[in-house]
Amino acid sequence: MTETLTNRASPDAATQLDIYRRMLRIERNDEFTRAQIRQGRITAPYYSARGQEAIPSSISVLLNDDDKICTIYRGIHDMVAKDMPLRPLWAEISGRVDGTCKGKGGPMHLTHPETGVMVTTGIVGSSMPIANGFGWAALLDGSKQVTVAYFGDGASNIGAFHEALNLASVWKLPVIFVCQNNGFAEHTRYENGTSVDFIAKRAIGYGMPGYTVDGNDPLDVYAHAHAAIERARAGEGPTLLECKTFRFMGHVFGDADAYMDPAEKEAAKEFDPMPRFRQKLIDDGIATEAQLEELKAKIEAEVKDAIEFAQSCEYPSDDELRRDVFAEEIPA
Amino acid sequence: MTETLTNRASPDAATQLDIYRRMLRIERNDEFTRAQIRQGRITAPYYSARGQEAIPSSISVLLNDDDKICTIYRGIHDMVAKDMPLRPLWAEISGRVDGTCKGKGGPMHLTHPETGVMVTTGIVGSSMPIANGFGWAALLDGSKQVTVAYFGDGASNIGAFHEALNLASVWKLPVIFVCQNNGFAEHTRYENGTSVDFIAKRAIGYGMPGYTVDGNDPLDVYAHAHAAIERARAGEGPTLLECKTFRFMGHVFGDADAYMDPAEKEAAKEFDPMPRFRQKLIDDGIATEAQLEELKAKIEAEVKDAIEFAQSCEYPSDDELRRDVFAEEIPA
Amino acid sequence: MSTDTVEPAATTEMVKMNGMQAINAALMEAMEADPKVLVLGEDVADREGGGVIGVTRGLSTKFGDLRVRSTPIAEQAIIGAAIGAAMGGYKPVAEIMLMNFTTVAMDMIVNHAAKLRFMSGGQSQVPLVIRTLTGAGNQTAGQHADFYEAWFCHTAGIKVVIPWTPADFKGLYLSAIQDPDPVMIIESGKTLFVPMDTPVNQGPIPLGKAQVVQEGSDVTIVSYGQMMFTVMQAVAELAEAGISAEVINLRTISPWDKEAVLASAEKTGRLLIVHEAGKNFGPGAEIAATVQEALFGKLKAPVGRLGAPYCAVPFAKKLEDAYLVQPPAVVAEAKKLCAQG
Amino acid sequence: MSTDTVEPAATTEMVKMNGMQAINAALMEAMEADPKVLVLGEDVADREGGGVIGVTRGLSTKFGDLRVRSTPIAEQAIIGAAIGAAMGGYKPVAEIMLMNFTTVAMDMIVNHAAKLRFMSGGQSQVPLVIRTLTGAGNQTAGQHADFYEAWFCHTAGIKVVIPWTPADFKGLYLSAIQDPDPVMIIESGKTLFVPMDTPVNQGPIPLGKAQVVQEGSDVTIVSYGQMMFTVMQAVAELAEAGISAEVINLRTISPWDKEAVLASAEKTGRLLIVHEAGKNFGPGAEIAATVQEALFGKLKAPVGRLGAPYCAVPFAKKLEDAYLVQPPAVVAEAKKLCAQG
Ligand SMILES: Cc1ncc(C[n+]2csc(CCOP(=O)(O)OP(=O)(O)O)c2C)c(N)n1
Ligand SMILES: Cc1ncc(C[n+]2csc(CCOP(=O)(O)OP(=O)(O)O)c2C)c(N)n1
Ligand SMILES: [Mg+2]
Ligand SMILES: [Mg+2]
């Protein structure tokens, strides 16, 4: 296997609860999104991250608002974990002018700089080279900011991954490369596209630490993210975290998973981080059932409010096609 | 360091002599090329491989005519080692219509399919993805052909390297990836562009064998190339060979090496494969001084003949701009 | 709907199929007839569902996993492998899932596939087909819907084909696969999904030849791909307004059928080019520039062009609709031209 | 040689310098004035000689290795880092050593740098300059000399600049670095090496504005980059033949100065566009298409275009000379136009 972490940080009770809050916010938001699409209330390509909630949640509790993330089409969970407000998010995926991108970007290109959501890309692998630039800017600023680049297992086979990790290592950039390894790249199983048993092993080729992490276990993700973020803030350079997980809803909304053995999905359910972590919090006395129900209700209210808000917003005017191409508006 | 080979094949006396013959043919050809450029007799960008002779020579003795190579701008040594005839080579770099590419390709794009010289690219990293295609064709043909992809140390940092090695491993292609690590990428020292101490370590990330080899020692190159070629012919897949060497003439003809400590070049001379291997052959009784002088004379005659031939050839007619764009000539 | 004046239909027996089915049929036929034909790309094999939308379904089952290979997500590796295999005697059909992803394979396409024959003085040939899909209309936004055919038309050594009907797909694929040079076939949005009457035994359709879909006398409209649907709608409206449009389905964008376009423009005296790609420095510019020169003094109106505005493809449906050339814009532009001369 | 009618020279004191020196001076000045300006690319720092031909020499010594960074050979990583730094508040000047190598960074340039402002609804800005060099004339053959400006002109969201004189370089660089949007500056062959009189204190030259280099009455010739040398030679010959050419140095290819070109073409009644890029689907097509429309019926001759033939750049000197547009071709085309109308 890959490297083993020696000094494991553990989240305290409050932090665990905060992790769970973020996970639940992701999970509830995802549920409502799929429902809205199913009901035809929003029309948008949607890449559910159901099953991957623990990863960005356990990382984001370690990040400040001005720490940055660069994510991908399957990235709304990363944004929600970073506490991006839901109103501009929903307005955006509803194609409204009050969306965070005025309805121009949509779900695959959401950004929200105030909470550090800098880039969402639809091109496999492209979150990583850009994350390096934020890392370089942090060095120039003399800040302690870190940048997290999220990407999938399939993305670890594309050129941009390689170029970005090599540069980050040579330049000792404060970037954490987080591979959310859900075992599939669209319809292709991990081993049919990837030549190494653990993606984290590729870190050896870049002279950086690489860890294979249980992405369904918030404590394991937290411990490794903690080490990586500390290292980055200390100016020691990047880390590659491979977080193993599963995507329960197929590649894209509407995907029937025909390429997947149904037994495999069944088996994965046992490791679904949502019920497991909930139970753990209760078992460890960190929260009561009632408290968690209350949290859920609060989150659902937030999501519903965001949906209603979005529906109350205007559509962008056609003039928007001439705006934001350049700083200066393109003449009609 | 990187992996160690257990079963080391050794070249017999005749093979060692053949390796030296190829090395000397490269070295003499290079000397004459630089002289011709210096004298203004040919005008062409020229990337001397002086110092790297042992690598392709020790590999090529293990290859058949129908085994293929894909090489780079610094690749004439690879072609000469593959026994590409010198007349069409010189006619090409002299811009004549009898050149192997009718004068259209020049030194950076020489090809000669009869001897397996399939692609010469001027784009760093691009020899590798194309080599895979020849490997795939060999599998489809059911032949035992192998393809060697040559590239530099700097090229191991570009995306194409990564994509090609991963695909070759997943597809178990009969391709040998040979990195001629001369310590520099243009003016950049190895360690300032590359994040790992040995490029061969990157093979770990592709689940393939990777060896760091003394590229100035024909026997070491031979042993590792032998293992890699056997493996490829047996259908077991690709190998990454990192052959450490030095380029004595700078990046491109005219390069003054200002970025290099002169002491470094001086020190490298001790490992110059040309005098060392010559002495070894004599010391081991494989050849006499006189025999080697005779070989040299024969090779020089061949080079001179090629130069004269080239100078006797016609320049291409302007119509050539309309030919070979497509199979069908472009109408005037 | 169509009076094909370029080549006779291969048969009169018709069947309803869509573009996806036509491509699948062409690949099946080509692979069966020629063992050198290969298919590669992300998810193309049946283990992966025969393509994300199923275009290559059944091929790997029929022809084996060595001839039909799913790949890692690595477009440089995909095109590189296709180039090598093509030079090694095969005829690979390589899929780049969406046209925006050609951006990561541009070196392989432009510096290698398109140039190797020339740079080698004819020693190498690269009989490669690159399939790719694109087109706005599904709210996939800025990085999944661009038409970049102009880039490849500007690149010497690669042919560029954009089919419209299922018959186009079948016939142009058959020709492209047997062409000795690289051909990029751009599958344009809904052309894959709209069922149309198609000759059962549709044979090869020659590359480089346009199809006169409908003859007319007032204005020539040249288009291709899914924009042909838009144009056909507009033309019906124009007919009601008493304007007779000659419609040309260009099929091959490079090398384009100058003869057919010039003949028609000279006849009608007016030309309008409609494409989904950006108007600015777009493919229509070359056609307009060529026609204004060849027919100087013979046109009744300047050559008109319609294409996408100068911005990325927007997400919001409302903006996407505004971004795309719609039938009323074609009607208005055609009327404007017809008001002149 | 030049009567600049667009902007007054910043000073009358002149100095002989070449393009490389002018770029170096611009970078020095910009980095001194604005601590946010950065430089990155292969071999750009002084440890590596300040660039393979020395354009960035002295910068890292003066401004430190954190602001001026040599990179691995990894163009996606170079442009990616530049994009991130630009979004992070900096103004990076990223070098892609030669234009053919932009092919490996197209995703970063096209899908990201050019689109992030739009896709983010204006939240992001990417004030990035991409420097790249190209041009035939040194027998670097098929993969080292292409002009692909047409690709980037067709891509919404990035400006494209091709300077001619050292003054152009200085002034256009100063503007590009302070521009809030991505700008690609293409350094064209010998424009880097030919010393020319240059105002000592050359200030910014606005992007998007052409320069009328010489007024004339018979024909307008629009060009840019090293082709301007070719055009100036041709124009001298034309003058001897009694033909008065108005010469426009376009400077910015996208967005190009329509006003200046239309005004001149309307005045002379004839327009010839000369560029080194391929003629087919090349940048001249857009200019020709626009002008034929705007000046329909007002031109004395069709808009002429000269560009490279449809093939890769050949190696042999003889073929390279035949490949490039030479002064006699410009003279002949201009005369042909002037014989009309
Ligand atoms: C360069 C590029 N090639 C292909 C695609 C099409 N595509 C979109 S998502 C995807 C699979 C990515 O898999 P992975 O990286 O594992 O991420 P996941 O979707 O599983 O989160 C592919 C091939 C793309 N977006 N970009
Ligand atoms: C994609 C690309 N980027 C940059 C260059 C410019 N370039 C030519 S050779 C070279 C250095 C390559 O170094 P290395 O791979 O070590 O090979 P070597 O020249 O030492 O044999 C560079 C940067 C190029 N040809 N292609
Ligand atoms: Mg995945
Ligand atoms: Mg090297």
Tens of pLDDT, residues D58-98: 999 999 999 999 999 999 999 999 999 999 999 999 999 99
Sign of the Cα torsion A105, A110, A116, A122 reads negative
pLDDT at residue D2 tops 60: no
Identify which of C81, C89, C157 has the shortest CB distance to residue B325: C157
> Residue D7: what pLDDT?
53
Task: Answer yes or no: is pLDDT of A50 > 90.
Answer: yes
3-state secondary structure chain B: CCCCCCCCCCCCHHHHHHHHHHHHHHHHHHHHHHHHHHCCCCCCCCCCCCCCCHHHHHHHCCCCCCCEEEEECCCHHHHHHCCCCHHHHHHHHCCCCCCCCCCCCCHHHCCEHHHCEEEEECCCCCHHHHHHHHHHHHHHHCCCCCEEEEEECHHHHCHHHHHHHHHHHHCCCCEEEEEEECCEECCEEHHHHCCCCCHHHHHHHHCCCEEEEECCCHHHHHHHHHHHHHHHHCCCCCEEEEEECCCCCCCCCCCCCCCCCHHHHHHHHCCCHHHHHHHHHHHCCCCCHHHHHHHHHHHHHHHHHHHHHHHHCCCCCHHHHHCCCCCCCCCC
Mutate which of C48, C71, C97 for ligand 1? The one with the most ligand atoms within 8 Å of its CB, which is C97
Helix axes A159-170, A127-141, angle to 10 degrees: 20
Task: State how far the Cα of D124 lies from the Cα of D116, in Å rounded to an integer.
Answer: 6
CATH of C211-338, one of 3.40.50.300, 1.20.120.400, 3.40.50.920, 3.40.50.1820: 3.40.50.920
B42 vs D316: CA distance, rounded Å: 10
Which residue from C minimizes the CA distance to B159? C76
CATH-assigned architecture of domain D14-199: 3-Layer(aba) Sandwich (3.40)
Please check whether residue B234 touches D, CB under 8 A: no
Q: How confident is the model at residue A1 (pLDDT cuts 50, 70, 90)?
A: low
The residue in chain A having the minimum alpha-carbon distance to the alpha carbon of residue B201 is A205
DSSP 8-state class, residue C328: H
Q: Which of B96, B188, B321 sits opposite D309 (nearest CB)?
A: B321
- Determine contact, residues C178/C204, Cβ cutoff 8 Å: yes
pLDDT of residue D12: 77
Among candidates C67, C79, C117 on the partner chain, residue whose Cβ is nearest the Cβ of B324: C117
State the Cα–Cα distance between residues B48 and B118, nearest whole angstrom: 20
pLDDT at C10 over 60: no
Residues of chain C with CATH 3.40.50.970: 14-199
Q: Is the separation of the CB atoms in A108 and D87 below 8 Å?
A: no
Whole-prediction pTM value?
A: 0.98
- Distance between A169 CA and the closest CA of chain C, angstroms: 22
- pLDDT number for residue D341: 87
Burial status of residue D261 (CB atoms within 10 A of its CB: 0-12, 13-18, 19 or more): buried
- Each of the 332 residues of chain B gets a pLDDT tens digit; together they read 578 998 899 999 999 999 999 999 999 999 999 999 999 999 989 999 999 999 999 999 999 999 999 999 999 999 999 999 999 999 999 999 999 999 999 999 999 999 999 999 999 999 999 999 999 999 999 999 999 999 999 999 999 999 999 999 999 999 999 999 999 999 999 999 999 999 999 999 999 999 999 999 999 999 999 999 999 999 999 999 999 999 999 999 988 888 998 999 999 999 999 999 999 999 999 999 999 999 999 999 999 999 999 999 999 999 999 999 999 999 98
pLDDT of residue D3: 41
In this prediction, residues C278-301 reach a mean pLDDT of 98
- Whether C76 sits inside 8 A of B159 (CB atoms) is yes
The pLDDT, as a whole number, for residue C4 is: 45
Question: What's chain C's average pLDDT?
Answer: 96
Q: What is the pLDDT of residues D241-256, one digit of tens each?
A: 999 999 999 999 999 9
- The reported pLDDT for the residue numbered C5 is 46
| Coil vs helix vs strand at D142 | helix
Distance CA A289, CA A39 (A): 31
Residue C3 has pLDDT above 50, yes or no: no
Q: What is the pLDDT of residues C99-130, one digit of tens each?
A: 999 999 999 999 999 999 999 999 999 999 99
Tell me the domains of chain B and their CATH numbers.
Answer: 13-307 (3.40.50.970)
Pairs of residues, one from chain A and one from chain C, whose beta carbons lie less than 8 Å apart: 130
Interface test with D, best of B93, B259, B326 (most D CBs within 10 A): B259
Compute the average pLDDT of residues C241-253: 98
Q: What is the pLDDT of residues A198-234, one digit of tens each?
A: 999 999 999 999 999 999 999 999 999 999 999 999 9
Q: What is the pLDDT of residue C1?
A: 35
Mean per-residue pLDDT, C258-267: 98
Indicate whether C252 pLDDT > 70.
yes
* Yes or no, beta carbons of B195 and A165 under 8 Å apart: yes
Residue pairs between chains B and D whose CB atoms are closer than 8 Å: 130
Q: Write out pLDDT tens, residues D155-191.
A: 999 999 999 999 999 999 999 999 999 999 999 999 9
Q: What's the pLDDT at B1?
A: 53
The answer to whether the Cβ–Cβ distance between D281 and C118 falls below 8 Å is: no
Give the pLDDT of residue D20: 98
Using an 8 Å Cβ cutoff, are C211 and C159 in contact? Answer: no
Averaged pLDDT, A166-181: 98
pLDDT of A85: 98
B122 touches ligand 2 (CB under 6 Å): yes
Average pLDDT of chain A is 97
Does any CB of chain C come closer than 8 Å to the CB of residue A103? Answer: yes
Rounded to two decimals, the ipTM of the complex is: 0.98
Query: Which tokens in the block code for residue A37?
Result: 């699409």
pLDDT of residue B269: 95
- Ligand 2 pocket, mutate which of D44, D53, D73, D134 (most atoms under 8 A from CB): D73
Residues of B in contact with A193 (CB under 8 A): 170
Query: Is D144 considered catalytic here?
Result: yes
Cα A153 to middle of ligand 3, angstroms: 5
Q: pLDDT tens across D281-329, in order? A: 999 999 999 999 999 999 999 999 999 999 999 999 999 999 999 999 9
Is the pLDDT confidence value at D214 over 80?
A: yes
**Yes or no, beta carbons of A119 and D116 under 8 Å apart:** yes
pLDDT in tens, C71-87: 999 999 999 999 999 99
Cβ–Cβ under 8 Å, residues C321 and C331: no
Domain with CATH 3.40.50.920 in chain D: 211-338
Q: What is the pLDDT of residue C2?
A: 40
Q: How confident is the model at residue D121 (pLDDT cuts 50, 70, 90)?
A: very high
Per-residue confidence (pLDDT) for residue B7, from 0 to 100: 87
Q: Is A258 on the interface with C (CB under 8 A)?
A: yes
Predicted confidence (pLDDT) at residue C9 exceeds the cutoff of 90:
no
Alpha helices by DSSP H, C180-297: 227-240, 258-268, 283-294
Please give the pLDDT value at position B258.
Answer: 86
Ligand 2 near D96 CB (within 6 A) = no
Residue of D nearest to B190 (CA): D72
